[in-house]
């Protein structure tokens, strides 16, 4: 026997939900699914197992659900393998995406109180040196500049965000994710002028 419960959603709409709240069996869809997935609380699991030992209907239902869970998992796995991406296609997509990101970088902030990119780099270097040392800070910044602006070019307001992302990425590798986040937030917090 199926019961109906009402659930009030945001905005006041009433949604009708059907639940298998059979007074004889007493297990909800949530409990069935968690039992099959192995995520059910131990106390509830014991109740379900005890019930299944004595209820043929529920034992049949459990058996059906186990079979279909297994089949769906296997077919899902098969689909994941069938749609793998060839390496060549993957590299092409990655290069194209990075190119789009670089070309879409927003212009720097135009402000009478703005910093130049060179000044911003000095500020970030002062931030990084006490934690990772002067040599490492300088080398990391140089690497981030090369990756963001290319050989022979410089960081400006237009590629500042990309530079900060690359620098924080490298900082995270060297001194941990918290340090990387700090560098990222500090870098984006600076108003860097265009040009």
Partner 1 sequence: MEVSLPVSEQEAIDRFLGAPGEESFRDLFRTIVPRLVRYFRTRGCDRELAEDLTQEVMVTVYHQSGRLRKKELFRPWLFKIVKNTLLQHVRRTGRKVATVALTPGVHEPGGVIVDPLAASRFNEWMAWLEPDERQIMTLRYVEELEYHEIADVLEMPTGTVQWKVFHSKRKLAARFGKNSA
CB 68 within 8 A of CB 75: no
* Contact residue for partner 1 among 162, 175, 190, 192 (CB under 8 A): 162
- Give least dist CB 21 to partner 1, A: 12
Using CB under 8 A as the binding rule, whether residue 120 contacts partner 1 is answered as no
Using CB under 8 A as the binding rule, whether residue 90 contacts partner 1 is answered as yes
Contacts of 187 (CB under 8 A, 6+ apart): 120, 124, 160, 163, 164, 167, 168
Q: How far apart are CA 174 and CA 138, in angstroms?
A: 13
The DSSP symbol for 11 reads T
Using CB under 8 A as the binding rule, whether residue 96 contacts partner 1 is answered as yes
Segment interacting with partner 1, rule: CB under 8 A, options 48-56, 69-77, 111-119, 120-128? 69-77
Using CB under 8 A as the binding rule, whether residue 79 contacts partner 1 is answered as yes
- Give least dist CB 76 to partner 1, A: 4
- Helix, strand, coil percentages, rounded to 5, for the chain: 65, 5, 25
Using CB under 8 A as the binding rule, whether residue 175 contacts partner 1 is answered as no
- Nearest residue to 21 via CA among 34, 2, 40: 2
Q: Report the length, in residues, of the chain.
A: 195
Residues that bind partner 1 (CB under 8 A): 7, 9, 15, 17-20, 29-30, 32-33, 61, 63-65, 67-69, 71-73, 75-76, 78-80, 82-85, 89-90, 92-94, 96-98, 100-101, 104, 143-144, 147, 162, 165-173, 177, 180-181, 183-184
């Amino acid at each position: 026997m199926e019961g109906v419960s009402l659930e009030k959603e945001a905005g006041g709409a009433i949604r009708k939900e059907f639940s298998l709240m059979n007074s004889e069996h007493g297990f909800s869809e949530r409990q069935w699914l968690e039992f099959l997935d192995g995520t059910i609380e131990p106390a509830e699991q014991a109740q379900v197992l005890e019930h299944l030992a004595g209820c043929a209907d529920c034992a049949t239902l459990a058996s059906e659900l186990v079979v279909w869970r297994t089949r769906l998992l296997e077919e899902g796995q098969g689909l994941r393998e069938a749609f793998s991406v060839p390496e060549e296609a993957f590299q092409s997509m990655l290069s194209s995406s990075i190119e789009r990101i670089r070309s879409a970088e927003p212009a720097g902030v135009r402000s009478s109180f703005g910093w130049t990119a060179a000044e911003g780099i000095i500020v970030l270097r002062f931030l990084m040196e006490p934690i990772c040392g002067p040599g490492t800070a300088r080398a990391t910044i140089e690497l981030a500049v090369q990756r963001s602006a290319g050989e022979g070019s410089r960081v400006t307001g237009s590629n500042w965000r990309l530079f900060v992302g690359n620098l924080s990425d490298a900082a995270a590798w060297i001194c941990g994710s918290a340090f990387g986040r700090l560098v990222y937030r500090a870098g984006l917090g600076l108003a860097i002028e265009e040009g």
